[in-house]
Each structure stands twice: as C-alpha cells, then as structure tokens.
Structure 1
Amino acid sequence: MPILAALPLLLASSQTPLPANDQPPLTLPKIEVRHNAEPFWKPKLQYLMPEVDGALITVTTKATVTHMEQIPTVAQDNLTQLFVRTPGIIVSQEQDPLRVNLTYRGLGNPQESEYVLVLQDGIPTELDWIGFPTLYYQPPLQGIREVQVIRGGNSLLYGPEPAPVINFVSKGAVAGAPFGASTEQMIGSDGGWQTYNVVKGSDGDFAYRVAGWINRSDGPRANSGYNVKGVDANLLWTPSTDSQWGLNLHLYDAASNDAGRLTYPQWAANPDLTTTPANREWANRNVVSLTHEQHFGDHWRFYGKAWVGTSELTQRVANPAVPPQPQPSVTNIQDARFRYVGTDLRLRHDFGPGDTLTFGTTLYHSDAPLRGANYTDLLAPRDATGGVPTLVQGRHSDYASVFASSLFRFGPGHHWHIVPSLRFDHEKVSVFETVRPPNLSRPLLNTTVSRNVPLFGLGIGNDFFDNGHLNETYFNVSTGWRPVRFFDIGSPHANIIPGTAPAVQKVLSYELGVHGTPADGLFYDVSVFWMNFHNRIETINLSPIVSIEQNSGDTHNEGFEGELAYDFLHGNSDREHLELFTNLQLLHARFVASAIPNQIGKAPAYAPRYLAKAGITWRRDGHYKIAFTGVSSGSQYWQDSDQDQPGTGGSTLLPARIPAYSVWDLAANWNLTPRVELLGGVSNVFNRVYYSRVWTYGIEPALGRTWYAGFKLSL
C-alpha cells in the first residue's frame, strides 16, 4: 500500500512536535491513506525509536525510548526509577553517585558500567571510550529529553561494547524559541539539596540554552557525602532550513566521600557502618562538541560531530579499619587523567519507496597517564605532593572505524524490510611503565596491542495490520565486541606476563520478536534472544604470584523479554492518561567453555533468572504526573566463580549470591499554576534493607527510604 512506502519518513517526523535541532523539517511525499485518517504510527513512537532516526537505522532492532516529559522528575540520580520502563537493564546500586553501575543480560560485571556503552547526544561519556571504559559521569536528568536504549546491532551503530547502547539525548537550544528561564529547588533526606537553573531563548538565526546545577548530600553514613556541580551550554545556528550548526559545552565536577564496603556480618549487624572514614574520590569531565546537519538535494543528508575533552579521576584509598582496629598508617592517592578527541561523520541517502542508505566513519584518540603515590597523612589533599611513588604509567588508545547500513523495503505494499549492516573497527592500545607497584615482581611494562575487528548484522521485519493498527515482527542477528583495555595488557594489580594480551571479546546475538499497537491505548513488545559471548577474559593464576589475562571463557545467554503497557484513558480529550505497564526478563546464562577448572556450567555474575518491573502512571499534560513504580530482581551471583568468599575459622565474609529484592518508588509533579510546579517523592517506599552491588572488597549497601520535595519556577 502506498502509505507503507512512506512509513520511514512518517516515523522520522512524528506528529509530536520536536525542536528544530532534533529533527530538521522534512518535505513528505504525497501519500494515500487507506486504513483510516488516524496517525496509527504515533502510539508506537511513545515506546520505540523512529525506524530511521537521523543517520541511524533502528528498524529490526530492539530499540526503546523513555520520554522524560511523560514521567515525574527523577531526583537524587535514582536510575532505578529512570530505567523502570526499560526491560532488562540492571541498575547495581551504591550510595556514591559518582559511579554508575549498569549491566544487561548477564554480559558482564556492572562495575562502573564497563560492558555498556553510554552516550550523551551520541558522544561516549566514559572516562576513556576504548582503554578505560568506566562511567563516572551522569548528566543531570532535568536536562535530558529522552533516553534511548538500543540492543542488538549496537556495535554496528556506534562501536565497541557488547550491549546495549544507552544514549541520553539532551534538550538543547530550540530555533525560534522565546526567552525563558526556570529554577528548580529541592531538599531531601540526609541533608540533600538539588538546584537546576536554565536560561534559554533565540535571536534571529541563533538559539541558546544554558543550565547550571548542584547536587549535594551528607549521605546516609559517616563519610558518605557528595557534592556534584556542573554547567551545560548549547548554541544553535540555523542559517537555513537545510542547515544547522551546534556548539555544546559540558562542564562537570564531583567530589564524594567513600564510606567503604562491608563484609556480610558487618552489613547484617549495621548496614550504616563506615569502614573507610578517610577515603575520598574526585571526578571531573569537560567536553566541547561541534555538530552539523546539512540537507542536500536528491535526498542526501549529512550528520557530523567532533568533540574534544578532558576527564580526571582521583581516588584517595586507605585500607578499611573498624575500631578497635588501629587506623591504617598510609593512604594511596591514584590520579588518572584523560585527554581525548573524536569525530563521527555520517551520510544518509533516501531512495526508492522508503529505502535508506547510511555510511560513515568514526575516529578517536586519547592520552591517559596514570600515577599513584603513598602518603602518611590519611587526609592528604587531591593535589598532594611529596609522596612515595607507587605507580607511573603512560597510556594511549586509538580507534577508527568505517561502516555502512541500508534499509530496503519490498513485497506487496512494501510490508517487508531488510537491513544489512557492515562495520570495520580498528583499535590500538599502548601502556608503558616507569614505576611499578612495589608489591609486584613483574618487569616494567612497555606493550602495544592492535586489533582489527570486522562486524556484520542482518535484520528482517514485516509490518502487519490488525483493524488499522500497526504491528511489526523483527529478527536481528548481529556481532559486537568489547575492546582490549589498559588493564588487560598493563594491570597495576597483578603480575601479568608481558606479551600475553588477550584476543578480542566478541558477541554474536540473535533476537526474534514482535511489537506494536494492536488496540487503542495498548502497546506490547515480546522477544526471545540468544547470545554467545566468546573469549570472555579471565584471570588465570599460573602461580601464587604470576597470572595472565587469557581468553578462556565462553557463555551462552538466552531468554525472554516482554513489555506491556495500557492507557486506560487513551483518547481523553483533556490529554489525561492512566497507564499501567509491566516488563519482564527471563534469563538463562551459563559458562560453556573455560580454562578455569569446574567453571563450565556455572552462571556468570549479575545474571538473575528474572528481572521484573511494573508501575502505574497518572498524568495530565501540563497539570500533574504521579508514578508508583517497582523493580523485583531474582538472586544473582556477584562473581563468575559462584563461590562464597571465606573468612577465618570457617566463616563467610561474602556469600556467593546477592539475595532477591523488590523496591518501590513514588514520585509526583503538580502544576500549581502554569509557572509554579511542585515536586516530591519517596524512593524505596517500604524501606527495604537490601544490597544489589558487591565487589571484591565487600558489599555496597543500597539506600533505604529517602524523600525529596521542592518546586520549579518558570518565566
């Protein structure tokens, strides 16, 4: 049918008004509507990304989106509340907001989200995208328009990490917008205070948006407070309807005390215990980016971005001690600095009846020196000098890629679509060492590793209709990979034999599903998946003091993922919605190969058998938003060995399993007047005492019941 031939363009220009810098105006072909006059594709876009989003082809992939204007304000960096509508995302909580711990489908430890690629407006937010992909930055959610989550095919679209890609899309400046300003003020538990302030507007071809924020708290434990502050600025120039330029600045500075991890007996006796009263960490991130979009004749478009930035992570770490144990006599300050530059250039060509071709290149380089020194002053400042050097490393990473993907529609009415994708990635990682940690006996490191990684993907889908409502089946097979990190070839924590760098870790994934809007107000998305994670890196101990990082572990991860949402007030003339939603992931993950004895058959870390989320949201656009949401997770192992960590005398310091838990949150916004909005909420409403994060050094207690209240004033 003719309307299907134009469906990708219709989806890319949804009936929902979008800022000019987010979706440039399109000239749509003439279409003939045969089913009905209603925009039947619009409900789908409340839950999914457009099939062609800029230079990204996401049709035939599982790609969901959370629209921030449809949920109450997410305060206190409550990522559990943020991702409650996203199936399968595990938020591994801790009280320190500097570290963001996310994982998915049992593909890797969530420590600092090392197995998930996180972006802001398509730019990686990790400290070092390739060599040190850890996450110590979270953009303020008040400045985010939507959160996109792309599963299979993520490496083909953006580059390394197994799955998924999480992209925070900023609000940004809006062409032609009138002057406006707002201030948001909130107080909360543990001396919490948040402020978010915006000035925005436009003048002729130029538009601007500047936001500044502070997020402070004393923390629930002694030495657990934090102070996070930052500035976002965006300047947009739109010289014509076919061209726009954007200049973006993100400044972020954070400091957090570290109250320490607990053994299980300590957590059971007092989850508010502090074991490291003098530990502290600092993180900052400063990034400038330039973006350009250009429409050419004959259905050609260009999307380009370039960025340059600096990040720094400084950690002051002393051994834990609880009275009457004596305090440690020395602390170590480790400082990692990152200087990076990158560019991403893409072309899109629309041809035929809804067909699209995209191709481009991505380049990235970073320098990341690492230094460590010991000090006898447990409260030594971040910039302390005169310590005893314990580590000095120079580190560099380079990454380059070329890629192409195309959408073809065929068959009667162009119901069928196929998306082949190719990508070729190259990485080069170097580590050279001049000071080796004194507890190690290996030689000084001077090593470089280069990798070439070809990737492929194929997606097939079919649109079908039920009484005028659009549904789609989708099948996707794709490859992905995880880069070799600095620590894989130059760990400062182990006697790794030089020249034993591991090979590329690869993921092959299949997903088969169906989603759509079979009835007014109803959305569903169900799929089954199978993933083979090949060449997982494991530490092989050759002796008590010598080890290698070896590719010896393969896992199979398969399961079911389903999502259902129904709006009981759909079509309400007052724009009122009462939506009930739920989603579920069932996961079976096991080691199928390993060089470690007795490892085959064990479950990898952070792979719960089930992860269920649900909630109800009552909102009326421009008047109020109320949401009661919850997450329930099955038990899960915190390390791949599936073994308890023993203590002395037959005791257990850390049980192998993280117990199952369920947590519920309540949040609300109420527009008292068009310019005054009241904000409030309670996280962990039932005050569940639990933990969902364990690392080698112990348990990270999760937050108990917390509250916040405040207001937003707008001009």
Structure 2
Amino acid sequence: MSKHIVAALSLTFICMAYANAQKADSSRILEGVTVTGYKTVNGVGHLPDVKNGIIYAGKKNEIILVDSLDANKAINNTRQILGRIPGLNIVETESSGFTANGIATRGLNPTQSIEMNTRQNGYNISADVYGYNEAYYIPPMEAVSRIEMVRGASSLQFGAQFGGLVNYVIKDAPTNKPFELTTAQTMGSFGMYNAFTSIGGTNKKISYYGFLQYRNMDGYRPNSQQWQLSGYGKIAYKPSEKLTIGVEYSLLRNQIKMPGGLTDSMFNVNPRGSTRTRNWLKSPWNIVAISADWIPSENTTISFKTSYLFSSRALVWRNEDGGPEAADEIDPATNAFVPREV
C-alpha cells in the first residue's frame, strides 16, 4: 500500500514540475490577409470603382462570372448567360445564319450587336467600329472567365455606340502549374456537336493559354447546317513583378447555310419549312493584339494595348425582295435560277 502512495505522490510532483516549466500564456498576432474579388449574386456583380485606369464608380455596370452560371455554354446561349442584365434586348440568330447572337440595351436594335461596343480582353473585335459595327465573332463561353458590361451614357467613353460596352475576358493561364489540359465534348439535338479543348500553364516568367473549339449542327430547319472553328492563343512574359508583356491571336473559320425567313402564316402552316436552298455565308476572322502593363509605383499604372483585325465576309444569297413568299426557283422565262447576290 505504501508503495502505491509513494508512486502516486511522485507522479503528482512530476506533473506539477512539468506544468511549472511551461511558458506563460502568450498570444501571437498574425499578418492580415486581403482577398480581392468580385462579389456576385447568382453570378452577377459589379465592377470595382477603379479598374485598369478606368473609373466605374457611379456608372451602370455589371460583371458576370461565367463559371458560376448554370447555362449552356457550348452554343453561347445568350439568353441564359447575359439574360441576367436588366433591360437587355436579345435576338437569337446564331442557329439561323448569323455567327453570333445579338444584344442591345436602352431599347436599341439587338441584331448582330450593331449598337454595342463589342470587345475581347479590352480591344474591339467588330469589323468596323464606326461604319459596320456588326459582331461576326465572339469567343466561346467555355473560354470566357467573365463578361463586363457598361450601360448608359458612361459607356460613351469606350466608343460612339449608344447601346453600351460588352467586354468578353478570356481565362488566364494557371499560375500554380506548368501545364493544364481541359476538354469538354457536348452533343445535342439536330446533329449538334461541340468540342472544346484548352491548355495553359506558367513556367518561371512565361505563361501561356490557348484553346480550340469546333462546333457542328444540322439545325432545326432544312438548309440550316453550319460548322465553325474558333481558336485563341496567348503568351505573356513577366520579367518582374511590375512589368508584363503579352501577345495574343484569335481566329474564326466557319460555313453557314441560311434557310430563309418565314411569314407568320407560313410559320403557322409549317414552322420547320425552308424557302431558300442556296444561301451561304463565310466570315473568316483574325485578330492580333499586343499588350503591356507597367506598375512603376504603388499609385501609378501604365497600360498599353493595340490590336489589328484582318477579316472578311463572303455572302451569296437569294435576297428577300418580295418577301419570303418569293420562291427561289427556276425562272421559266430564262430556264435558270433567279440570280443571287454575291
């Protein structure tokens, strides 16, 4: 019994000695962490007050984080992606002969986004900004990180278009890995097939990102089959934390067959009818851009960006003179088809 008492007292003294040997309670203040990002509700937020030397404070603007949306990105479904913008007009013509769905604000014409200043990564991608502003090319939404939009009179700081600015920002290269590969294959009704593949990475001072997208569809109506190939590549060199230099190239190749229009009565009889069999469109698009960003001091940023667009449109069609009722058939007087416009 005495041995157990001695052992217990010895253990008690050892524990007391160990407790006395411990340091007094202390606290350590960690360095602060600042997280910068876009606060969004259902994928829609607002631009910061100042970004890239441009003041957005007090202006009507929205930013859409594409990856946070539950939308069909394979066919650039504008209604699902941009339909969250208040007062936006949308015309869905991508599946009936035009290469991109159109949008507009302030009650203006949305066809081919002709009233919008359409940009990619901050530079214009329309054919002729002041003469023929139709957008024949927009990047696939699977490659877009966010969509920035400025509405109202404040958008005039970007150009003369009254409808506002829409800027599609392509994803950046991953910074924590030298190589990353992503791919997505999408199939749908009426022969729709979309393949998207991208690569990117960062190795020391050089980063890169690129993608290829191929899409083919037969269409809901006869004579509406189309295919398109989109591509993009960017290389950036960052010799220091204050300087970044980059070059990028975008391309579009396509071939679209247009089924022709329908009147209300023709649509009621056969909504899948087609009045044109010889209408074709091609619009090869090429854009090269060079950018440089320099931060000489904490309160100073200098940005340089220039782009060169060389593109064309090839259209051959039986026009709509006489309306959709004017049949595209052989003229008995000449025993030949009615001449098409080229």
Q: TM-score, normalised by structure 2?
A: 0.81
Question: Where does the alignment leave 5 or more consecutive residues of structure 2 unmatched?
Answer: 1-33, 332-336
Structure number with higher relative contact order (C-alpha < 8 Å, ≥ 6 residues apart): 1
Work out the number of aligned pairs and report it: 297
Q: State the distance in 2 between where 1:324 and 1:88 align.
A: 38
| Pair 1:216–1:42, CA change in 2 (3 A) | closer
**Counterpart-to-counterpart distance in 2, 1:81 and 1:131:** 30
Alignment of 1:428-577 (within 5 A): none
Tell me which residue corresponds to 2:314.
314
Asked whether the 8 Å contact 1:14–1:42 carries over to 2, the reply is: no
User: Does the alignment pair 1:326 with 2:329?
Assistant: yes
User: 1:653 — aligned with what?
Assistant: none
Kept in 2: contact 1:151–1:164 (CA 8 A):
yes
Distance of 1:130 and 1:84 partners within structure 2: 26
Matched with 2:99 is 98
* 1:268–1:60 Cα change, 3 Å: same
Residue 152 of structure 1, CA deviation: 2.3
Q: Residue 241 of structure 1: CA displacement?
A: 0.7
For 2:319 and 2:303, how far apart are their aligned partners in 1?
49
Equivalence for 2:76: 77
2:59 pairs with 1:61: yes
Q: Would the alpha carbon gap of residues 274 and 327 (structure 1) be closer, same or farther in structure 2, given more than 3 Å must change?
A: farther
Q: Which residue of 2 is the match for residue 159 of structure 1?
A: 159
CA RMSD, 1 decimal: 2.2
- Give the drift of 1:148: 0.9
Q: Does 1:185 align with 2:206?
A: no
2:319–2:341 contact (8 Å) kept in structure 1: no
Instruction: Give me the whole-angstrom Cα distance separating, in 2, the residues matched to 1:153 and 1:189.
Output: 41
Please tell me the residue identity of whatever aligns with 2:317: V
Q: Which has the higher strand share?
A: 1
Q: Is the 8 A contact 2:103 2:116 kept in 1?
A: yes
Q: Distance in 2 between matches of 1:332 and 1:237?
A: 50
Conservation of the 8 A alpha-carbon contact between 2:44 and 2:62: no
Whole-angstrom CA distance in 2 between matches of 1:147 and 1:319: 35
Cα displacement string for residues 662-700 of structure 1 (whole angstroms, at most 9, x for unaligned residues): xxxxxxxxxxxxxxxxxxxxxxxxxxxxxxxxxxxxxxx
- Which structure would you say has the larger Rg? 2
What is the SS of the residue equivalent to 1:138? coil
**Equivalent in the alignment of 1:146:** 146
Distance 1:269 1:43 in 2: 45
* Aligned residue runs from structure 1 range 113-512, under 5 A: 113-297=113-297, 299-319=299-319, 326-327=329-330, 329-334=337-342
- Write the distance in 1 (CA, Å) between the matches of 2:326 and 2:39: 61
Q: Which amino acid aligns with 1:92?
A: V
Per the alignment, in what secondary structure is the counterpart of residue 190 of structure 1? Answer: coil
Mark the CA change 1:145 to 1:86 in structure 2 (over 3 Å): closer, same or farther. Answer: same
3-state SS of the aligned residue for 1:244? Answer: strand
Distance 2:39 2:88 in 1: 25
Deviation for aligned residue 1:71 = 0.9
| Greater fraction helix | 2
| Rounded Cα–Cα distance in structure 2 between residues aligned with 1:132 and 1:199 | 34
Preserved contact between residue 176 and residue 203 of structure 1 (Cα < 8 Å): no
Instruction: Determine the C-alpha separation between the residues in 2 that align with 1:300 and 1:324.
Output: 64
Structure 1 residue 176: Cα displacement: 4.7
CA 1:205–1:262 in structure 2 vs 1: closer, same or farther (change >3 Å)? Answer: same
Q: Note if contact 1:65-1:148 (Cα within 8 Å) is conserved in structure 2.
A: yes
Contact 1:176 1:204 in 2 (8 A): no
AA of the residue aligned to 1:81: Q
How far did 1:100 drift?
2.9
Spell out, residue by residue over 1:36-84, the C-alpha distance to the aligned partner (whole angstroms, 9 max, x if none). Answer: xxxxx95689611111111211110011111012113523221111112
What TM-score, normalized to structure 1?
A: 0.40
| Local SS of the residue matching 1:312 | coil
The one-letter amino acid of 2:36's match is Q
Q: Could you say what secondary structure the match of 2:160 adopts?
A: coil
Q: Secondary structure at the match of 2:126?
A: coil
Give the secondary-structure state (helix, strand or coil) at the position aligned to 2:112. Answer: helix
Give the CA deviation at 1:173.
Answer: 2.4
Tell me if the contact between 2:227 and 2:256 (Cα under 8 Å) persists in the aligned partners.
yes
Q: Which letter maps to 1:103?
A: A
| Contact residue 139 and residue 230 of structure 2 kept, 8 A | no
Provide the C-alpha distance between the structure 2 equivalents of 1:281 and 1:214, rounded to a whole number of angstroms: 17
SS in 2 for 1:139: coil
Equivalents in 1 of 2:251, 2:183: separation in Å? Answer: 19
SS at match of 2:207: strand
Q: CA deviation at 1:327?
A: 3.7
Kept in 2: contact 1:116–1:166 (CA 8 A): yes
